[in-house]
Amino acid sequence: MKTAFALAIGLAVGSLEAADWPRHRGPAQNGVSAETDWVTTWPGGQPKRLWKASVGTGFSSVAVAGRRVFTVGSDGLKKGGKDVVYCLEAETGKPVWTFGYSQDLDPKYYDGGPGATPTIDRGQVFVVGRHGWVHCLNAENGSVIWKRNLASESGLKVPEWGFNSSVHVEGDQAILNAGSFGIALDRLTGRELWVSGKDEAGYGTPVPFESKGRRLLAMFAAKHAVAVDPKDGTEVWRVAWKTSYDVNSSDPVFSQNRMFVSSGYNKGGAVYDLSGADPKQLWFNKEVRAHMSGSVIIGDCIYGVDGQGDDKDSQLKCLDLGTGSVRWASPKAGTGNLTAAGNRLLWITGGGELVVVDAKPDAYRELARAQVGGGKHWTAPTIANGLVYVRSAKGDLVCLDLRALSQ
């Protein structure tokens, strides 16, 4: 029965394309796309806007699978509100289906709304609400396959700014950074498989990595960076990482046997060597204090946004992975967020400028810059099949056509 069901939902949306972006931080969950065939020469200095849609208040980024776009936004009601899952046509922005569930806006010192990104896997769409609802939807039509509340059913404590972990699918497990160091649900039924503890979680998403021939998951928890075995949630190691208000929200990134973690509130970042029995800190500094923007590693360099919330003096920086020394820093801008593709960086500033930067360590070199949106932009841009999706906090979602043959 489960085999037939899995096959049916797996065929629901059709085959994923090589350049799809089906989850938070992309196919490899490291913020880096393999796409190279996209242009930075824009007629009139402005990228071609293919379409614009309104998807509600929030900070969920965009997932792309099978020529469809998925994101989540709030209807804006502080009481009696709902989050809405949007499935749109990638080429036109036209709605394919929507699905809503009860969830107040909950604007605590910022706009509020959902922070988790939909995860698309074998015809299923996994979405997470701030107060604990996890929904598994049919990607073809938005119908509910199962739902579960992490707070009321699993007894997990809701973090101060709500649950923001996107789902990581590991085989037939849907794993979230929720509870102390993660929880795993059955992908097909939502049944709880394991839970690490019931304390408050961090705000990032589980990140898979290989260590000494073993596949593990990293959880940037409330007070630690932790590695767990995805099979049963067993803790493998942890390192202490205390940040003001327990806001660890920027996912760890990995390169061979090294891990980079970074947090805002003037905390900073560090690289750990994972080749031994326990992680060993190689360096720590305050050059990249990543509040909500994920960093990327390309070659021997870390590229990250050093900035806090609405800080107008944030900078994109390039750090040497081995030493932490600053190779270059950009001019100052609003915080924004970052994605990489084809040895180029797509930086959306907090004020809605899309800046394309050469991902090379010798110098800060802009390849293109254009104002593509208004208002606050904290959400990472998504690139898939030559199209770039940029979303504002109030829910303006624009699709920019950077395909080489379309210009």
Q: According to the model, what pLDDT value does residue 123 have? A: 98
Q: According to the model, what pLDDT value does residue 309 have? A: 79
Q: According to the model, what pLDDT value does residue 19 have? A: 87
Q: According to the model, what pLDDT value does residue 7 have? A: 38
Instruction: Determine the distance from the C-alpha atom of residue 351 to the mean position of all C-alpha atoms in its chain, rounded to a whole number.
Output: 19
Question: What CA–CA distance (Å, rounded) separates 294 from 25?
Answer: 8
Judged by phi (left if over 0) then psi (alpha if -120 to 50, else beta), residue 29 lies in left
Q: According to the model, what pLDDT value does residue 310 have? A: 81
Q: Which of 367, 403, 365 is nearest to 383 (CA)?
A: 403
Q: According to the model, what pLDDT value does residue 3 have? A: 39
Q: According to the model, what pLDDT value does residue 14 have? A: 46
- Give the tens place of pLDDT for each residue, 311-348: 889 999 999 999 999 999 999 999 999 999 989 999 99
Judged by phi (left if over 0) then psi (alpha if -120 to 50, else beta), residue 25 lies in left
Cβ pair 46, 32 in contact under 8 A: no
Q: Which residues of the chain have pLDDT under 70?
A: 1-18, 405-407
Q: Which of 163, 162, 164, 200 is nearest to 181 (CA)?
A: 200
Q: Running DSSP on this structure, what letter comes out for residue 290?
A: B
Question: What CA–CA distance (Å, rounded) separates 225 from 278?
Answer: 12
Q: Which of 54, 92, 68 is nearest to 13 (CA)?
A: 68
pTM summary value? 0.95
Please name the amino acid found at residue 230. P
Question: What CA–CA distance (Å, rounded) separates 117 from 32?
Answer: 16
Cβ pair 181, 140 in contact under 8 A: no
Q: Which of 372, 390, 388, 370 is nearest to 380 (CA)?
A: 390
Question: What CA–CA distance (Å, rounded) separates 72 from 128?
Answer: 9
- Give the tens place of pLDDT for each residue, 213-263: 999 999 999 999 999 999 999 999 999 999 999 999 999 999 999 999 999
3-state secondary structure of 352: coil
Q: Running DSSP on this structure, what letter comes out for residue 17?
A: P
Q: According to the model, what pLDDT value does residue 17 have? A: 67
Which residues of 104-206 form beta strands (DSSP E)?
Answer: 119-121, 124-128, 133-138, 144-149, 168-170, 173-176, 183-186, 192-195
